[in-house]
Structure 1
Amino acid sequence: MIRPIDRRTFLAGSAAAGLTLASGPFRGASAADPLKIGFIYVGPVGDFGWTHGHDMGRKAVEAKFGDAVKTTYVENVAEGPDAERVIRKLAADGNKMIFTTSFGYMEATLKVAKQFPKVYFEHATGFKTAPNVSVYNSRFYQGRAVVGHIAGSLTKTGKIGYIASVPIPEVVMGINATAIAARKVRPDAEVKVVWINSWYDPGKEGDAAKALIDQGVDIMTQHTDSPAPLQIAEQRGILGFGQASDMKAYAPKAQLSAIVDVWAPYYIQRVQDVIDGKWTSKDTWDGLKEGTLEMAPYGDAVPEALRAEADKIKAGIIDGTYDCFAGPIKDQAGELKVAEGKSLADGDLLGMKWYVEGVSA
């Protein structure tokens, strides 16, 4: 079993973090010369959310390739200078492929990639590529449209809580998708947002959930990584949704569903590309259609008719008949941002910095 590396130990003795280059395309991996693959995580593998999802992908790579690969991961690495040191150490230690799994690792990944041009880098949720850097992402907003529909249908107070992590377009996009879908079934629905400025902080997440419930929220959503908000929802007798992984075990009564990240197929394919010498830099943004995103089974509190409606939305997203950001869409000030018959293009979504009508943030 591959065990986590404590980054203090990992960084100690890191004098080798120089500019040594790896060899060319990796071919014919075997037990004698396995492809070394490094993963860097922003949270602990036991967060049961985002990092847990990526580590499931890592384990799937091990299961698929066996002795042909050797994986290593470093958890709890803060975005910033610490990340750059860890990524450089992974490269210097001979990892031919490195997955950097948080948005804030982007600049560090690009910087280290320049120093190790024969190492293949894969950066999650970023938008900058290089000859040896690919980016990959999931259309999380598609799952949040399903969440929003269910939340808008079940809320009694009309107030939906949203615990937000870091103010980047990906998170704003999810808030807006939730609000748009909720207000289609509950026009007066309000999505109340609390920012904690962290991807993973169970204490802050739990406190934010309590504050939102005290403000009348009866449905809890989140873009943070621990099950703390759902656990608070369970304790306080309201309903909610898991994030990145199925969190039902932590809130069996409260969880209505969860947005589940499925990285394994992408990870397996990209490792295969390296082994075959076919890896090229690319930008991948998949979702429900491609299987990168799934919804966890519905909880008991979701009635059969609502399950059918949610399934129809999922099917519509997959076949292209349901557009999460189809107009008309107004912003917080009530100004028309997307006209009827129009829709937001991917570029607009990836740069989203404004809230839609019904968001209180």
Structure 2
Amino acid sequence: MPMQEAVEQYQKALKLGRKCYKDAVIHGSYPYLPALDDCLVGPSTAGVSDLGVLEIPMEMVVGTRTDARKNAFAANFMPLLEQDTEFAAKWIRLCDDHLGETGIQEPVRCVEYLGRFYVQEGNKRISVLKSFHAATVSAYVTRMLPPWSQEPEIAAYYEFLRFYDCAHIYRVRFDRPGQYRKLQAALGFECDHVWSGEERLDFLAAYTRFQSAYDRRRRQEEQAAASDALLVWLKVYSFDALKEMSDGELDKSLEAVWPDVISDVQSDPIAVDTVPAGPDKGIKGLLFGVVRPSHLQVAFVHSHDPAVSNWVSGHELGRKYMEIALEDKVTTRTYWPKSEEDTGEAMMEQAIKEGAQVLFSTAPQQIGACRKMAAAYPEVKLLNCSLFMPYTGVRTYYSRIYEAKFLSGVVAGSLCRGKEIGYIASYPIFGVPAGINAFALGASLTCPGARIRLRWSCCDPKALERFDAEGVELVSNRDVPTPTQYQARWGLSRLREDGVREPLISPFWNWGIFYEQVVRSILDGGWDITGSHGKTQAINYWWGIQSGVVGTRCAPGLPEGCRRLVEILERDIGSGELDPFRRVIRDNRGTERSDGERWFSPEEILKMDWLCESVEGEIPGFDSLIPAAREMVRLQGVYREEIPPRKEGVLL
């Protein structure tokens, strides 16, 4: 009887093989198993090591060592030869062994290369086991190392080797650097933690459940791997929750983060929205039947009391501006921590339970809480004041402050009596190097040869005092958070002979215009039309001078000629006629960054991690930051992907 079952199994496998072959030919892909020897070109190995007999995941057995059996197998390892061939007879005998009492016991021989396995001996055994959907196979494994390079796949593989030394797990595979460290952190382990046998079994049991849920949810055209999906899922839920959830709860939780799973593997997961939605977005909303609410409950969740934080008070002014502008169309509530129990998550939960339909959180550190709220309350529109966050359920917002920094640089150059201008930067985060560079380019416009001495408040909180002691006359300091705040030593200032700093000009934020425009777009039906053009992308608002969210404030003591020049250039930036970065630019290491003919994309400006040739200084490394600055840089740093993740905190 088992022999008859083996024959029938071959017939089923043959149908699957021929279907796979036909589909591959139709779609123009290779219809046979890939051969490792054909993939290796030139000096493709940096060494070989024997790993012994391992239980390896069947899904990662992808090809053969040579192409000697090329015509016998389709790309899915199913047979292609007729039932009356010697090949089929051997396949059927192996299948009979598999169905018998002892099963197939002899390990196959495989070569592992870049985390995938290529069969050297035992192709038919693999074919039989794959036809029965076996999860693993016993194999004697030889590892072939590729030469090191900075190609993402190679760098990720070398990270896998370090992970494998700790975990001895092959089932989890990432093709991007940094992911293995994030997984260790998400599981509560240090990056070099060596797993116990119990931890390994515990993880594999939970991962198998997750992979089953993922396979139930995945559609054929979507290319995210289960391991990538798990890492996205762990940004919202804990590994302990995975072990405790029912299958139904797990399916529901995966559904909640599914847009982020799809976005995560896209080449452009973030859409940068640089201009406010015009009235046509509302008209499109009407055409597409978008529901237009007549009234909105809007919540603002802050990290500090507005009375003690200039940053928060600026957002509170923006909230009040929006309330006045939209009159009876909105009702707002404000939340900030009044005790240790008032965490961001607790305040957001309270706001939503009290009816919030739109929720603005005004600190980047609140992004983790926003992610959890997005998964739990998908009907609520959530926004977080931060930059370049890859989450589809939370829109983020900031401003192109570099445009105003350029104008400050123009003023600094025009008033510079020497060639030296001081500059104090905040954090090495997205957009800040662009602000430094824009200031430097503005200064060189009115003072060719000007040098910008750069210091960082996140490394040296007394940077301004040091500039004072050194007699540096002109210094650009932190920006004014609101249009009305007294400038004092904020923005660009000049050191007088009496030792007092005289304010000259400062960039500022006008958050009220942003809040009004965004809430108005929801009321007009334009929210769902904004941004991603049919793609599953996170939306980041990054508006500039044109929108009115960014501006410059000239102090009374600024000479009239400078004031007039600022007005002219600000108008030209707002109209799009002037781009601070459209000119020949070299960095301070001598590399040409622009030939003067190209436009930098918003993403290139946001992610600048270099400084112009006139800037004396460098972007500080993570270890040189004061402790209070490190959380912000973990979240928003231009090199955040290179920072080892922590066991606690938001996993990006």
Same-fold status (TM-score > 0.5): yes
Q: CA deviation at 1:311?
A: 2.1
Distance 1:74 1:116 in 2: 18
Contact 1:38 1:90 in 2 (8 A): yes
Q: CA deviation at 1:120?
A: 0.7
| Structure 2 equivalent of residue 259 of structure 1 | 507
SS of 2:431's equivalent?
Answer: helix
Cα distance change on mapping 1:308 and 1:338 into 2, 3 Å? same
Q: Does 1:124 align with 2:372?
A: no
Distance 2:467 2:575 in 1: 36
| Structure 1 equivalent of residue 548 of structure 2 | 291
Per-residue Cα deviation, 1:3-57 (whole angstroms, up to 9, x for no partner)? xxxxxxxxxxxxxxxx9x9xxx78343xxxxx43221334553468533332111
Distance 1:179 1:335 in 2: 16
Distance 1:175 1:261 in 2: 17
Cα distance change on mapping 1:120 and 1:232 into 2, 3 Å? closer
| Structure 2 equivalent of residue 349 of structure 1 | 605
Q: CA deviation at 1:117?
A: 0.7
The letter for the 1-side match of 2:607 is: G
Cα distance change on mapping 1:236 and 1:305 into 2, 3 Å? closer
Contact 2:505 2:555 in 1 (8 A): yes
Q: CA deviation at 1:144?
A: 0.6
The letter for the 1-side match of 2:379 is: K
Contact 1:126 1:137 in 2 (8 A): yes
| Structure 2 equivalent of residue 358 of structure 1 | 614
Q: Does 1:230 align with 2:489?
A: yes
Distance 1:171 1:342 in 2: 21
**Identity over aligned pairs, percent:** 25
Larger deviation, residues 186-195 vs 271-280 = 271-280
Q: CA deviation at 1:147?
A: 0.3
| Structure 2 equivalent of residue 74 of structure 1 | 335
Contact 1:37 1:96 in 2 (8 A): yes
Q: CA deviation at 1:230?
A: 0.5
The letter for the 1-side match of 2:605 is: L
Per-residue Cα deviation, 1:83-117 (whole angstroms, up to 9, x for no partner)? 44443443344322111223343344233211211
Cα distance change on mapping 1:323 and 1:269 into 2, 3 Å? closer
Question: Which of 7, 10, 27 does residue 293 from structure 2 map onto?
Answer: 27
Per-residue Cα deviation, 1:110-146 (whole angstroms, up to 9, x for no partner)? 3321121111112223223655432333211110110
Distance 2:520 2:508 in 1: 24
Q: Does 1:327 align with 2:583?
A: yes
Q: Which has the higher contact order (CA 8 A, sep 6+)?
A: 1
Distance 1:197 1:288 in 2: 27
The letter for the 1-side match of 2:542 is: W
Q: CA deviation at 1:165?
A: 1.9
Per-residue Cα deviation, 1:221-255 (whole angstroms, up to 9, x for no partner)? 2336677970799895389xxxxxxxxxxx9x722
The equivalences for 1:100-249 within 5 A come to 100-128=361-389, 130=391, 132-197=393-458, 207-223=462-478, 230=489, 237=496
Q: Structure 2: which 5+ runs fail to align?
A: 1-251, 257-290, 532-538, 618-652
Distance 1:331 1:315 in 2: 28
Distance 2:428 2:337 in 1: 20
SS of 1:169's equivalent?
Answer: coil
RMSD of the alignment, in Å? Answer: 3.6
Contact 1:220 1:229 in 2 (8 A): no
Q: CA deviation at 1:213?
A: 2.0
Contact 1:209 1:232 in 2 (8 A): no
Cα distance change on mapping 1:50 and 1:109 into 2, 3 Å? same
Contact 1:222 1:229 in 2 (8 A): no
SS of 1:333's equivalent?
Answer: coil
The letter for the 2-side match of 1:27 is: P
Cα distance change on mapping 1:254 and 1:66 into 2, 3 Å? same
| Structure 1 equivalent of residue 559 of structure 2 | 303
Distance 1:76 1:237 in 2: 41
| Structure 2 equivalent of residue 52 of structure 1 | 313
Greater C-alpha radius of gyration: 2
Distance 1:40 1:195 in 2: 29
Distance 1:328 1:107 in 2: 40
Cα distance change on mapping 1:26 and 1:234 into 2, 3 Å? same
The letter for the 2-side match of 1:209 is: L
Distance 1:231 1:340 in 2: 32
Contact 1:330 1:336 in 2 (8 A): yes
Q: Structure 1: which 5+ runs fail to align?
A: 1-18, 30-34, 199-203, 240-250
Distance 2:361 2:325 in 1: 20
The letter for the 1-side match of 2:427 is: V
Cα distance change on mapping 1:92 and 1:238 into 2, 3 Å? farther
Distance 1:238 1:141 in 2: 30
Distance 1:322 1:209 in 2: 31
- TM-score under structure 2 length normalisation: 0.43
SS of 2:300's equivalent?
Answer: strand
Distance 2:346 2:497 in 1: 43
Q: CA deviation at 1:350?
A: 1.3
The letter for the 2-side match of 1:317 is: I
The letter for the 1-side match of 2:599 is: S
Per-residue Cα deviation, 1:269-302 (whole angstroms, up to 9, x for no partner)? 3223444555326443221122222222x33432
The letter for the 1-side match of 2:544 is: G
Contact 2:587 2:610 in 1 (8 A): yes
Q: CA deviation at 1:331?
A: 0.8
Cα distance change on mapping 1:331 and 1:86 into 2, 3 Å? farther
SS of 2:458's equivalent?
Answer: coil
Contact 1:176 1:355 in 2 (8 A): yes
